[in-house]
Structure 1
Amino acid sequence: MNPIRIKAVCFDFDGIMFNTEDVFEEAGTELLAKRGHELTMEVRRGMTGRREEEAIAHLIEQLELSDTIAELRKEARETFLRLLEGRLAPMPGLFELLELIEGSGLPKGVATSSDRAYLRNLLGRYELASRFNSLMAAEDVDRGKPHPEIYLKSAAALKVDPAEMLVLEDSENGVNAASAAGAYAVAVPNRHTREHDFSRAHFIADGLGDRRIADLIDR
């Protein structure tokens, strides 16, 4: 038994709460095909978990694209939103886990590298925004993941020590950010992130319904 007592839970958003990483993959594949490139696992690994502008800058640098960040960002957003309609779905076990956390009386938050308008848009489709005590987005930090700033601010907003906050992350950048903040980082990979380096996570979960996550909350 781990002696840590969890007093708050913080979720990453894309790939943890919703299947948006599937849509990002389709959008990126379409975007790069127009430019004669493929969206490789290595390129995606460097982008996942980062703020939009930083992820696009990484893409341009890695593939030596001639687009500006602003141009590619605009096209990427339009492509993503077009593909998102009719495909958005919660990740398996999300609602059951939210109910467990709420039944335990623990505060919970979201800490995403995506912008606030996008976060509220998607949460609003499932009437979820009001169920969280804290919503941290790209605009709330000066430095994005893997820097720990967003998780330090989340812990402060949830009024707990970072070491008492359980963080659920699907990416290497996200886990590293949570770990650097001193939080209890748990990796919950999806098919896009299974090959990431999660050596800084306390453990790698088999989805949101993993009994080990429930045990941390129930303790």
Structure 2
Amino acid sequence: MKSGANMHLRGVALDMDGLLFDTERIYFQVGQVLMERRGHTFTLELQQKMMGRVGLSAVGQMIDHHQLDDDPVSLLAESDDVYGDLLLGELRPMPGLAEWIERLRTSGLPFGLATSSRRKFVDMILPTTEWSDDLAFALTGDDVTHGKPNPEMYLKAADRLRVSPTEMLVLEDSGNGSKAAVSAGAVTVAVPNEHTRSHVFEDVHLVAESLADPRLWELLPQNTNA
């Protein structure tokens, strides 16, 4: 496996949900609430379809799956209300997050956020961290027209970093997100969690065990002058 220095990495883009924070657990609770209100069951299968998708596209999967007659905009607003009520009380960092952020800092590479989550929720989460000021950018689902697995998010991330996508390392936890990064041409590392271990991670550079995986850390240079 090539090192980050040998791949000439010049920047890093990070997904958020399921990679940096265990929000997939919260999304599952939201799905359960919404479906119970409608006499249906929220399943892992449905959650998998929704992962990585932006707002209306995500709830569209919910509507199609259960053939609901809900208006997508209204269902999204209801979902946002439930998620917002749960978020800060249920938010948990993924294992190894603090150490990974420190490794990014010591690498000297600029790094930013590229998440399908809505801007208003990112604005709730980032102030709870000690590293939000270190981010070179924060792209959200509100900043793209086409959500993952479309590569738009990561093409924009490379543009924010002012690098070629091939010079950018992307970390993703889901199949949809990894496909978006691979399609953009980025060096893609999948870091699946308990909700996404069954996903297909085709053409990724590495499937890491966690944010603490030494193989992931070795991709980063010690510093940009090394």
TM-score (normalizing by structure 2):
0.92
Give the aligned partner of residue 218 of structure 2. 215
Give the aligned partner of residue 184 of structure 1. 187
AA of the residue aligned to 1:33: E
Q: Does 1:83 align with 2:117?
A: no
1:212 deviates by 0.9
AA of the residue aligned to 1:170: D
Closer/same/farther in 2, CA of residues 137 and 78 from structure 1, 3 Å limit = same
- Percent identity, please: 42
Partner residue of 1:162 out of 147, 154, 165: 165
Larger deviation: 108-117 or 75-84?
A: 75-84
Larger deviation: 83-92 or 63-72?
A: 83-92
* C-alpha contact 1:120 1:129 (8 A) present in aligned 2: no
Secondary structure of 1:207 counterpart:
coil
Runs of 4+ in structure 1 deviating by more than 6 angstroms, as ranges, are none
Give the aligned partner of residue 15 of structure 2. 12
> Gaps spanning 5+ residues in structure 2: where?
none
1:57 deviates by 0.8
1:127 deviates by 4.0
Give the aligned partner of residue 147 of structure 2. 144
Partner residue of 1:206 out of 192, 209, 215: 209
Give the aligned partner of residue 119 of structure 1. 122
Q: CA RMSD in A?
A: 1.4
Deviation digits for residues 24-78 of structure 1 (CA, Å, limit 9, x no counterpart): 0111112112222222222111100010111001110111012111221122112
- Aligned counterparts of 1:193 and 1:203: Cα–Cα separation in 2: 15
Secondary structure of 1:217 counterpart:
coil
Count residues with an aligned counterpart: 219
Give the aligned partner of residue 73 of structure 1. 76
* C-alpha contact 2:88 2:125 (8 A) present in aligned 1: no
AA of the residue aligned to 2:210: G
* C-alpha contact 1:5 1:216 (8 A) present in aligned 2: no
AA of the residue aligned to 2:212: G
Secondary structure of 1:166 counterpart:
strand
- Aligned counterparts of 2:129 and 2:26: Cα–Cα separation in 1: 18
Give the aligned partner of residue 32 of structure 2. 29
* C-alpha contact 1:112 1:136 (8 A) present in aligned 2: yes
Secondary structure of 2:188 counterpart:
strand
Give the aligned partner of residue 194 of structure 1. 197
TM-score (normalizing by structure 1):
0.95
Partner residue of 1:58 out of 61, 68, 79: 61
Closer/same/farther in 2, CA of residues 85 and 133 from structure 1, 3 Å limit = closer
1:200 deviates by 2.7
